[in-house]
Amino acid sequence: MTATSDVHLPEPFTGTGTIKSPATDSVVGEVRWTDPADVPRMVAGLRSAQQEWAARGPKSRAKVLARYAVWLGEHREEIESLLIKETGKSAVDAAQEVPLIIMVISYYIKTMEKALAPESRPASLPFLAIKKITVHYRPRPVVGVIAPWNYPVANLLMDTVGALAAGCSVLLKPSERTPLTAELLLRGWIDSGAPDVMAIVQGGRAAVEAVVDNSDYIQFTGSSATGAKVMERAARRLTPVSLELGGKDPMLVLDDADIELAAHAAVWGAMFNAGQTCVSVERVYVLAAVYDQFVAAVVRDVEKLSMGAGDGHDFGAMIDESQLAVTERHVADALAKGATAATGGRRAPGPGSFYLPTVLVDVDHSMACMTEETFGPTLPIMKVASVDEAIRLANDSPYGLSAAVFSADVARAEAVAVQLDCGAVNINDVISNLMCTTAPMGGWKTSGMGARFGGAEGLRKFCRQEAVVAPRTAVGAGGNYYNNSPKALKRMNTLMTKLALIGPKRAAR
């Protein structure tokens, strides 16, 4: 759930800063920026606390996470009120975040003991059966989580709770646009009786660099450009990274699709959170036979939308003027090159960073709205002659996060899905893969590397694997040490070759 830009205010962040609402420009609160020179000390504290946290074991950690989930549920109204002020979201958009995190925690507390348990591995060859092979998953001491502004709860905690479940300490770096929600979430961790294995670094670029330079693993969510810089810096210490980056998600509407369902999904998928979602519907390819019907249904739905912060609105403000300017540029570029705005096409009148929900038709790949991540409330729709053309155009992108395919024939849609170059495909739905905690959530190409969660791997990624090879018997121990006589060497080579070829010979038959 990526934000297109990550560090936007001038350096350095010193002293305190004022956070204002993008919807009203009113003051939300004050934040104290972290001195990057203090980060090594903070990390030292986290490393010390992590040892006891890891030693507790999965069952004990699960109880702490369960108490935190209860705190989140009990303080949901307070959390959502604050994030609405910081982001200008509508209440319905804000309402999605806390339940998602509670769902992720619920999944982890049920599965973490089994996922993190030592795992026995079989011997690859018969003569190695005398060895017992066990893989242990040992937590990395400190995980740095660098999160964007578009989902101040979900993007910050989605990875944090997995790292905590694995037995790591976590150093959080929230967006400098939404620091206050992060402070509230840290207070909840402390209030729920948890140990000091979570800390926050507030600031901009220098804060990011300090987190990267002092952590043992980095989970970054943000733009592709910034993700590359984070990876480059992490490489200085060979620190492993997981990156969830930008997207330009396509939606394909086949000629047998339920057009009403597809239209509803496209509008919600494009306008949810004012389009500021990495897996939002950013471009639609519709087969010619149903194109006019689809466009009419989309325009009808968009014209019913209510825009504003807080209660009673479908979606809210954009995070700031710089993000709104990207949307304005993409729409202006499309209109200049022959596209038509069937609805919207301009910023909303009045105060705040609001942009009217916009449907663009007569678009093509010469336009930025079809090739660059917009991250705004726009829905460009392109007519295509065939399914093959839709697939080709969908794949004609440097991004590969997720996609959607709509068809009455699920098998047909699945056949299309596996031809799309992306990390996840939703059939007859949009964004729903984010709810599937057993499946990986990651991108291809410049949309990232690794996955945020997904089954046992969502916990194990925060661990270092250690293989322990122990003897099952003392028979034969040391029998091949320096036994290098010509006769013994010939016997050993003959035996090793025969044993190694058993499997390949069987497979080749």
Q: What are the pLDDT digits (tens) for 458-480?
A: 999 999 999 999 999 887 666 66
Give the range of the structural domain holding residue 234, as residue numbers without chain letter.
16-245+454-464
Query: Same domain, yes or no, for 418 and 404?
Result: yes
DSSP-derived secondary structure letter, 307: B
Band the pLDDT of 1: cuts 50, 70, 90: low
Letter string b/e over residues 76-100, b meaning 16 or more CB atoms within 10 A of that residue's CB: beebbebbbbbbbbbbbbbebbbeb
Letter string b/e over residues 338-348, b meaning 16 or more CB atoms within 10 A of that residue's CB: ebebbbbbebb
Structure tokens at 11: 């350096």
Confidence (pLDDT) at 51:
98
Confidence (pLDDT) at 14:
86
- The closest of 390, 328, 393, 337 to 358, measured between CA atoms, is 328
Confidence (pLDDT) at 3:
55
Query: Same domain, yes or no, for 402 and 300?
Result: yes
* CATH code of the domain covering residue 266: 3.40.309.10
Query: Same domain, yes or no, for 193 and 302?
Result: no
The contacts found for 224-228 with CB under 8 angstroms, 24 or more apart, are 224/398, 224/399, 224/446, 224/447, 224/448, 226/5, 226/6, 226/7, 227/448
For 4-28, what is the mean pLDDT?
77
Domain total for the chain? 2
Q: What is the pLDDT of residues 206-220, one digit of tens each?
A: 999 999 999 999 999
Confidence (pLDDT) at 209:
97
DSSP-derived secondary structure letter, 411: H
- Tell me whether residue 67 is in a domain: yes
Q: What is the pTM of this model?
A: 0.94
How would you write 112-165 as a 3-class SS string?
A: HHHHHCCEEECCCCHHHHHEEEEEEEEECCEEEEECCCCCCCHHHHHHHHHHHH
Q: List all residues 6 or more positions away from 131 whose beta carbon is below 8 Å from its beta carbon.
A: 123, 469, 470, 471, 472
Query: Same domain, yes or no, for 151 and 41?
Result: yes
Return the half-sphere exposure (C-beta side, CA atoms, 13 A cut-off) of residue 480: 8
Three-state DSSP state, 241: strand
For 146-150, what is the mean pLDDT?
97
Residue 227 in this model has a pLDDT that exceeds 60 = yes
Confidence (pLDDT) at 10:
46
Residue 484 in this model has a pLDDT that exceeds 80 = no
Confidence (pLDDT) at 12:
62
Residue 338 in this model has a pLDDT that exceeds 70 = yes
- Tell me whether residue 484 is in a domain: no
- Tell me whether residue 199 is in a domain: yes
Q: Is 278 among the residues known to form the active site?
A: yes
| Alpha-carbon gap, residue 158 to 178, rounded angstroms | 16
For 223-249, what is the mean pLDDT?
97
| Alpha-carbon gap, residue 13 to 383, rounded angstroms | 48
> What percent of the chain shows pLDDT beyond 90?
86
Catalytic residue among 278, 369, 422, 463: 278
Q: Are 86 and 19 in contact (CB under 8 A)?
A: yes
Band the pLDDT of 13: cuts 50, 70, 90: confident
Ramachandran sector of residue 167 (left: φ over 0; alpha: ψ -120 to 50; beta: rest): left
399 forms beta bridges with 445
| Alpha-carbon gap, residue 226 to 346, rounded angstroms | 28
For 307-336, what is the mean pLDDT?
97
Q: List all residues 6 or more positions away from 204 whose beta carbon is below 8 Å from its beta carbon.
A: 7, 8, 9, 11, 12, 13, 176
Q: Is 260 among the residues known to form the active site?
A: no
Query: Same domain, yes or no, for 236 and 273?
Result: no
Q: Are 142 and 47 in contact (CB under 8 A)?
A: yes
| Alpha-carbon gap, residue 253 to 113, rounded angstroms | 42
Confidence (pLDDT) at 258:
98
- Tell me whether residue 495 is in a domain: no
Query: Same domain, yes or no, for 348 and 227?
Result: no
Query: Same domain, yes or no, for 188 and 112?
Result: yes
Query: β-strand 358-361 against 378-384: which pairing, if any?
Result: parallel
Query: Same domain, yes or no, for 286 and 166?
Result: no
Query: Same domain, yes or no, for 193 and 293?
Result: no
Query: Same domain, yes or no, for 281 and 183?
Result: no
Residue 6 in this model has a pLDDT that exceeds 50 = no
Query: Same domain, yes or no, for 139 and 266?
Result: no
Confidence (pLDDT) at 5:
40
DSSP-derived secondary structure letter, 348: P
Confidence (pLDDT) at 272:
97
Confidence (pLDDT) at 506:
80
Indicate the range of 72-76, 358-362, 485-489 predicted with least confidence. Answer: 485-489
Band the pLDDT of 124: cuts 50, 70, 90: confident
For 276-298, what is the mean pLDDT?
98
Band the pLDDT of 370: cuts 50, 70, 90: very high
- Tell me whether residue 449 is in a domain: no
Query: β-strand 131-139 against 119-121: which pairing, if any?
Result: antiparallel
Confidence (pLDDT) at 203:
97
Whether the bond into 486 is cis, omega within 30 of 0: no
* CATH code of the domain covering residue 241: 3.40.605.10
Catalytic residue among 244, 282, 372, 373: 244
- Tell me whether residue 470 is in a domain: no
Q: What is the pLDDT of residues 387-432, one digit of tens each?
A: 999 999 999 999 999 999 999 999 999 999 999 999 999 999 999 9
Query: Same domain, yes or no, for 22 and 92?
Result: yes
> What percent of the chain shows pLDDT beyond 70?
96
- Tell me whether residue 419 is in a domain: yes
| Alpha-carbon gap, residue 323 to 126, rounded angstroms | 61
- Tell me whether residue 71 is in a domain: yes
Other beta carbons within 10 angstroms of residue 458's beta carbon come to 29
Q: What is the pLDDT of residues 324-334, one digit of tens each?
A: 999 999 999 99
Confidence (pLDDT) at 503:
73
